[in-house]
């Protein structure tokens, strides 16, 4: 068979049933092989949209996402998505076509150094230089994408390699190798248990590494046995059981007041699969200033990177969490954290008739089935989703965390819906973010995907506008989007029905119409341009120095 046929056969061997992409000249042999392959290809309308769909597929299912693009602009259009996958540790295999080896290095049509371009935004990149290396390289890509800290892997395959003849005798796929993580030493486990047992004000700081380690059950048991309050990062939302009274919410720049204050007051911070990101810590040297730190991670690069822990453990979360569980004696601390939650709870008594986004999203969350997937874009609406919607698993909340990519939500929802066709999938976007990959409405139309779309529209680039208001003396430079299109008419052009609402008394009926409609639906929600996201930790400030709406 030809190299292109081998690519499709190896994908099948790895259990790939869905791939996302856009064809072009240098990858045409692989697209010819797709024509007769049982692997289903989903044509997206932009390579970035295809890769974000693959990311949504991967994050909502736990499988490896696969995307394809041609050389030149096709490959360069993947770069943003690869960076997104790298920073959020998403297992992704990207396959790009490359010009034939005979013209490589001659500035041939649509030739670009994809290997060099992709190195900073991938876990690993390959240029396949011989047909005999193609099969092993494909297998290696899947292993690398999933092993250790997951991430994106790119294979750049010259056109002549795709067309070359190769043996039909494929090697069997062996079971994925067991993790080679070191065993945590007994003295480290003993030290961690001793720190937990001695703490009077402990708190668990939970990151995305917990669910990537498939350690949600172990985490919840650890929190129960230790009776320890907890906070999460954006990517870890849904890791803590909804009914856990001592879960304080997301921490950081737009975290809850209770979460930020408790972390600042704690005497022990148990960092589980989190990386002390600047959006979490605020002013780093003032973050949890009186706390000893236990840090558990899979990536040695994260240990000591930003905060030197008192006890560092490199190992498997599923094994280590049960081994360090220790009862705490901190009832006064638990009562204090509950009081913080009550004192700083959300207020939804917004005056007037206009729709208040936090209340709208809380009401939407209350109406959604527990197995729903919410795919979020980036901006004010993203933070409101994190603050006011509730999730029972991190795979049900897909948000671009590390890169903060506008245009993520709609294509990610396409991938999530294809991964989980029986579950309700919702894209929540702002009017700015929605226009970034709006062409993927064509993908929804073609494949008749019943994705629900909520566009929260304040006719502004809201988060940038909020910073201009607070920190740039109200100089609103290029954040006015009052010339937005008619979003409902735009959706109708893709045969997607929709409705616009502007008042609180329209919300209940509009939600019912959207959620009961059997196909895709767009709900356009107009809100006041003056509404901002609170609390907000100003740049360079400590987390306890939050700005709040009540203080404005």
Please confirm, yes or no, whether 47 is among the known catalytic residues: yes
| Beta pairing class for 373-376 and 124-127 | unpaired
Active site residue 159: yes
The widest CA-to-CA distance across the chain, in whole angstroms, is 73
Instruction: Judge whether 109 counts as a catalytic residue.
Output: yes
Which of 1, 109, 335, 343 is an active site residue?
A: 109
Give the contacts of 408 (CB within 8 A, at least 6 positions apart).
52, 55, 84, 375, 376, 377, 378, 398, 399, 400, 433, 437
The SS3 assignment for 58 reads helix
Question: What angle, 0 to 180 degrees and rounded to 10, lies between the N-to-C axes of helices 131-146 and 3-13?
Answer: 30
| Rounded-to-integer distance, Cα 401 and Cα 211, Å | 15
Within 8 A by CB and 6+ apart from 35, the residues are none
Cβ neighbour number for residue 536 with a 10 Å cutoff: 20
Region class of 100: left (phi > 0), else alpha (psi between -120 and 50), else beta: beta
Q: What angle do CA 218, 388, 222 make, to 5 degrees?
A: 15
Q: How many CB atoms lie within 10 A of CB 423?
A: 15
Instruction: Tell me the pairing of strands 268-272 and 40-43.
Output: unpaired
Distance CA 112, CA 125 (A): 14
- Give the other-Cβ count within 10 Å of 459's Cβ: 18
Of 152, 105, 45, 53, the residue nearest 398 (C-alpha): 53
Q: Is 422 a residue of the active site? A: no
Structure tokens at 440: 């993927």
Which listed residue (8, 20, 47, 435) is catalytic? 47
Q: Check: CB of residue 250 under 8 Å from CB of residue 259.
A: yes
Catalytic residue among 159, 235, 417, 452: 159
User: At a CB cut-off of 8 Å and minimum separation 6, what does 11 contact?
Assistant: 19, 39, 66, 138
Choose, from 12, 13, 110, 191, the residue flagged as catalytic: 110
Out of 253, 389, 463, 511, pick the active-site residue. Answer: 463
d(CA 314, CA 333): 29
Catalytic annotation, residues = 47, 109-110, 159, 463
């Amino acid at each position: 068979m030809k190299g292109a046929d081998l690519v499709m056969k190896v994908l099948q061997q790895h259990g790939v049933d869905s791939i996302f992409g856009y064809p072009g000249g240098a990858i045409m042999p692989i697209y010819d092989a797709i024509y007769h392959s049982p692997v289903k290809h989903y044509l997206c309308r932009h390579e970035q949209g295809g890769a974000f769909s693959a990311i949504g597929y991967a994050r909502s299912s736990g499988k490896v996402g696969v995307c394809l693009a041609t050389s030149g602009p096709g490959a360069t259009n993947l770069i943003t998505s690869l960076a997104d996958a790298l920073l959020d540790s998403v297992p992704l295999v990207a396959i790009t076509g490359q010009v034939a080896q005979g013209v490589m290095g001659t500035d041939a049509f649509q030739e670009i150094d994809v290997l060099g371009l992709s190195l900073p935004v991938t876990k690993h990149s390959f240029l396949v230089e011989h047909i005999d290396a193609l099969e092993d390289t494909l297998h290696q890509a899947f292993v690398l994408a999933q092993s250790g800290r997951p991430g994106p892997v790119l294979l750049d395959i010259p056109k002549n390699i795709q067309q070359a003849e190769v043996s039909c005798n494929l090697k069997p796929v062996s079971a994925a190798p067991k993790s080679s993580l070191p065993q945590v030493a007994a003295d480290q486990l003993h030290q961690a248990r001793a720190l937990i047992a001695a703490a009077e004000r402990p708190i668990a700081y939970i990151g995305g590494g917990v669910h990537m380690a498939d350690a949600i059950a172990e985490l919840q048991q650890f929190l129960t046995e230790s009776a320890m309050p907890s906070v999460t990062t954006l990517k870890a939302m849904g890791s803590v059981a909804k009914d856990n009274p001592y879960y304080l919410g997301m921490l950081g720049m737009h975290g809850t007041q209770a979460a930020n204050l408790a972390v600042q007051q704690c005497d022990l911070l148990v960092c589980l699969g989190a990386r002390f990101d600047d959006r979490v810590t605020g002013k780093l040297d003032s973050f949890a200033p009186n706390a000893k730190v236990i840090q558990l991670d899979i990536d040695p690069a994260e240990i000591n990177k930003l905060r030197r822990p008192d006890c560092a453990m490199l190992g498997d979360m599923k094994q280590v969490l049960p081994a360090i569980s220790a009862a705490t004696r901190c009832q006064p601390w638990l009562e204090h954290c509950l009081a913080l939650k009550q004192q700083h709870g959300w207020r939804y008594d917004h005056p007037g008739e206009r729709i208040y986004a936090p209340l709208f999203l809380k009401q939407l969350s209350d109406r959604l089935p527990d197995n729903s997937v919410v795919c979020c874009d980036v901006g004010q609406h993203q933070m409101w989703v994190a603050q006011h919607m509730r999730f029972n698993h991190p795979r049900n909340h897909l948000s671009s965390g590390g890169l903060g990519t506008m245009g993520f939500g709609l294509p990610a929802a396409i991938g999530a819906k294809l991964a989980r066709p029986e579950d309700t999938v919702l894209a929540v976007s702002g009017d700015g973010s929605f226009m970034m990959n709006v062409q993927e409405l064509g993908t929804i139309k073609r494949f008749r995907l019943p994705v629900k779309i909520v566009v929260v529209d304040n006719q502004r680039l809201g988060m940038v506008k909020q910073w201009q208001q607070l920190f740039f003396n109200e100089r609103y430079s290029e954040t006015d989007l009052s010339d937005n299109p008619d979003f409902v008419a735009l959706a109708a052009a893709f045969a997607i029905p929709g409705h616009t609402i502007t008042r609180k008394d329209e919300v209940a009926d509009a939600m019912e119409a959207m959620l009961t409609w059997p196909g895709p639906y767009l709900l356009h929600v107009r809100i006041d341009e003056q509404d901002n996201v609170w609390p907000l930790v100003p740049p360079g400030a400590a987390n306890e120095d939050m700005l709040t709406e009540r203080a404005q």
